[in-house]
Amino acid sequence: MYYSRKIIPFIFFLLFLLSFAARAQQHIVKRPPNYGRLGSLAKPDYYAIDTLIEPIPFRRQFFHDKINKELEKADKADGIKDSAITFFWDTTQSDRMTRVILKTVNHMQIMVENMPLNGRDSFDHSQDKIRYLNALWELLRAYNGNPRPNPDFYENLVNNMDSMLVACNENKLKDFAIQNTNIYTLDNGHNLFENHPDVRAYVYTEMGKQDPIMMVKRLIEFHSDTFAGPIIAAAAKLQPELIFNYATATNYRLRDAVHRTHDDLVQAIALIADSSKAPVKAIPFLCQIYKKQMTVQEVDSIAAQPASLYRHLVGLKIENDPVGKPIYAKELDYRGMKMVREMNDLHEEKDTVRFKCIDSLPPEDLYYIMVNGQDEIYTSTFLGTFKRMMERLQPRSGNQLLDTLHYDKFRTFIKMCAGYNTLSEFLQTISDTGRNQLMSSFITGLENGNDSDLEDAVDVADAFGSINDSALNVFLEARVKESYERSYSGNSKKGVVIYGLLATLLESNRSTGNDTGSAVASVKLQLPPINKVLYHDLVNDSGIVYQQVFFFGDEDGKNSYESFVGGFKSNPAWKIEDTTFWTTISSISGHKVVIYTNKPLLEPDDEVAQDSLCNFLSRTHIVPSIIIHRGHSYHLPQTLARLTPANKIVILGSCGGYHNLAVVLDKAPDAHIVSSKQTGVEAVNEPIIGALNKRLLDGTDINWIDIWSELNLYFADKDELREKFSDYVPPYKNLGAIFIKAYRRKMGK
């Protein structure tokens, strides 16, 4: 009896252990084949089970609570607490991120608690677990703070964290770091390197060799470490302006790290930062100071006069020295754009006043003012600058000027001349032989570079839309055919696609002014209709067309907003509702159209308003099919960053140059783009938007040929506005955008 009382509890205890082992075996988490590999290290089972072996101690429950709050925040980010992360534009990514963030991170909490001692005392082991939990918490905080998290990045980051935690507990962090020297180990190491300075130094040093620019942008993390100097020196050779920013920073940690770096180029940057009267104007001359060809004082003397500064910047551009090239090229663009804006602003003044800022500049300088100012230059500003360039060019010829400039951006220049009807005048300065050589060079060589190098080809495509000289068109067609045949025999897929498309565009450009011609061109280019957007492609599942308009907080933005909203207030077809950060304009007759526009609050609160509106649209699963940018070109990147594949019409109130077109089509591959050759004009933007909304209320397709015919009649008796409207390019005439779309389809991108 006595032994029975002893044995029975023991039997129950044994059964409990067997039951627990069976449950643990059932809860092994299945992983992809590469999940959690540490070289040859295999995961013990206690890293994989998804149930706690022991309850969480009270002193660590606080850290789990912090993690759980972030998990709940991630769950509720889509507006619903349902144990799922929803990216409403992509179901596959939704399932993926639910698994990665909610399930895998939650499992890692359990894994941390189940980790064995592995030779540590219990106190140190507990401290390590707290460190691991903090690392998880910081990962989740970063995810929740990211407005558009990249699923690929976070899946890799979470899987890396899982393996890194195991490596830490198995005392194999150094081996792991050697096998996984990457951005994920770097990001996850913030907490995990705390007791491993040798591993930290190894990862930061090796990452500095891999990507010094990325690393130097994180300089604040390692500013006082000995390995900071080599990383700063390597970055200075690639982006000296970034090191200059640190050398002049108010943050003494960054500034001192630069000054401590024993590298001649970095020390030249520090010298400019310390001793120049105008460091920002002097830094473009880094090469001359670094090579001791000029002193800082000599540079200051040059920089004191705007015209002198610009002439010397052009000189640097022509010399094309690689040291400091990004800085002087950027400064040249900036200084030229300032003059373009000054001439634009004085468009109602006499020419003697308007063009005074370029009075002393030679042809080379005027050339760069035009090509670098293409995003904002007014037609009259271009024509006035071009006229002065031609006067000062004599007795030289146009190709002699281009020789001096090493044909830098010559395709952009020819495109602009074609667009502003000055190409013939420029070509007349060149002999017949030279003219043929120039225009042959304009066409040939477009197949060079990698598949994504398209800027020159797009300039050529754009020029085709403006060249009306029949003899020149015949010449260009022949050169395109020759280049196509050469690409074909040379097995250049890029060349075959480019020249095949250019041939089609040349032929189609003569007939795309009507629906039949556009339909034929669309078929040949293997594109959806280039002249219209079907109404059913603009509505959502509820039959609503959503638009989003971006305004900015400068004076022009406020005026544009008031004018835009005011146009709806007097129209009984619309109602207007206001919130703190945005305005909603909804149709109350005809088909359903809803327009959201942020309020142009004083900068930088205008970005807060845009963020608030975008977050609201995301939470409510509203995806605008029409995006309208109402602001200067320097605001445009903020709008472009918000585009999505759902956007079918994008109206740019500022120039749609190549880089802007490419970015739009990167984000919204099917978008029809309305853009201007110069800065957008409110009195032109609003009639275009009005014509668009009229068709949306009627529920009809957006036919750009019809809209442009209607607008041509509207502007016919408005002399000044007619000229401004002529600078707007409708989608069916936007050969640059059409070319990019067709090229990407042909190349399978």
Question: Tens of pLDDT along 495-517?
Answer: 999 999 999 988 877 666 688 88
Say which amino acid occupies 52. Answer: L
Q: What pLDDT does residue 7 have?
A: 54
CB–CB of 144/15 below 8 Å? no
Instruction: Report, at the CATH architecture level, how domain 532-746 is classified.
Output: 3-Layer(aba) Sandwich (3.40)
How far is residue 660's CA from residue 676's CA, in Å, rounded to a whole number? 11
More confident residue, 657 or 122: 122
CA gap 599, 583 in Å, rounded: 7
Kindly report whether the peptide bond that precedes residue 395 is cis, defined as omega within 30 degrees of 0.
yes
Distance from CA of residue 190 to its chain's centroid?
Answer: 27
The residue ranking higher by pLDDT, 390 or 464, is 390
What's the chain's average pLDDT? Answer: 89
Quick check: 235 and 216 in contact, CB under 8 A?
A: yes
- With a CB cutoff of 8 Å and minimum separation 6, the contacts of 473 are 467, 506
Inform me whether the pLDDT recorded for 324 exceeds 90.
no
- Contact between residue 547 and residue 647 where contact means Cβ atoms under 8 Å apart: no
DSSP state of 43: P
Range in 79-88, 296-305, 696-705 the model is least confident about:
79-88
Residue intervals in the chain for CATH 3.40.50: 532-746
Q: Which residue has the tokens 């009267």?
A: 277
* Gap between the Cα atoms of 375 and 656, Å rounded: 7
- Residue-wise DSSP of 246-304: HHT-S-HHHHHHHHT---HHHHHHHHHHHH-SSHHHHGGGHHHHHTTSS-HHHHHHHHT
Q: What is the mean pLDDT of residues 71-92?
A: 83
Q: Lowest mean pLDDT: which of 188-202, 694-708, 720-734?
A: 720-734
DSSP 3-state of 608 = helix
* pLDDT at residue 577 greater than cutoff 80: yes
Q: Are 303 and 342 in contact (CB under 8 A)?
A: no
pLDDT score for 632: 78
pLDDT higher than threshold 50 for residue 592? yes
Residue 36 binned pLDDT confidence (cut-offs 50, 70, 90): very low
| Residue 582, CA atoms < 13 Å, CB-side half-sphere | 22
**Percent of the chain at pLDDT above 70?**
91
Start-end of H helices in 570-627: 605-619
What span, in angstroms and rounded, lies between the C-alpha atoms of 666 and 171? 45
> Helices 493-508 & 515-525, crossing angle to 10 degrees?
170
Q: CA torsion 661→662→666→670, rounded to 10°? A: 50
What per-residue confidence (pLDDT) applies to 749? Answer: 67
Say what angle helices 363-372 and 306-319 make with each other, to 10 degrees.
90
For residue 660, what pLDDT is reported? Answer: 81
Q: Which of 126, 136, 185 is nearest to 160 (CA)?
A: 185
Count CB-CB contacts under 10 A for residue 701. 17
Region 307-321: what's the mean pLDDT?
94
Query: Does the structure show a pLDDT above 50 at 18?
Result: no
Distance between first and last Cα of the chain: 82
Other CB atoms within a 10 A radius of the CB of residue 486 amount to 15
Q: Is the peptide bond before 33 cis (omega within 30 degrees of 0)?
A: no
Residue 636: CB partners within 8 Å, gap ≥ 6?
A: 629, 652, 654, 660
Total-model pTM: 0.73
Q: What is the pLDDT of residues 671-688, one digit of tens each?
A: 999 988 766 678 888 999
The region of weakest confidence among 6-20, 65-79, 119-133, 473-487 is: 6-20
pLDDT (tens digit, 9 = 90+) per residue, 527-537? Answer: 999 999 999 99
3-state secondary structure (DSSP) of residue 361? coil
Which residues, other chains included, contact 230 with Cβ-Cβ below 8 Å and sequence gap of 6+? 205, 208
What is the H or E stretch that residue 532 is in?
strand 532-533
- The confidence score (pLDDT) of residue 41 equals 47
Q: How confident is the model at residue 725 (pLDDT cuts 50, 70, 90)?
A: confident
C-alpha 711/C-alpha 725 separation (Å) is 9
Q: 296-303 vs 306-319: helix axis angle to the nearest 10? A: 120
Q: How confident is the model at residue 13 (pLDDT cuts 50, 70, 90)?
A: very low
Percent of the chain with pLDDT over 90: 70
CA distance 5 to 667: 75
Phi and psi dihedrals of 742, rounded to 5?
Answer: -65, -40
**Across residues 728-747, what is the average pLDDT?**
91
pLDDT per position as a tens digit, 359-385? 999 999 999 999 999 878 888 899 999
Kindly report, residue by residue over 637-668, the tens digit of the pLDDT. Answer: 889 999 999 999 999 876 656 568 888 999 99
**195-210 tens-digit pLDDT:** 999 999 999 999 999 9
Residue 78: per-residue pLDDT = 81
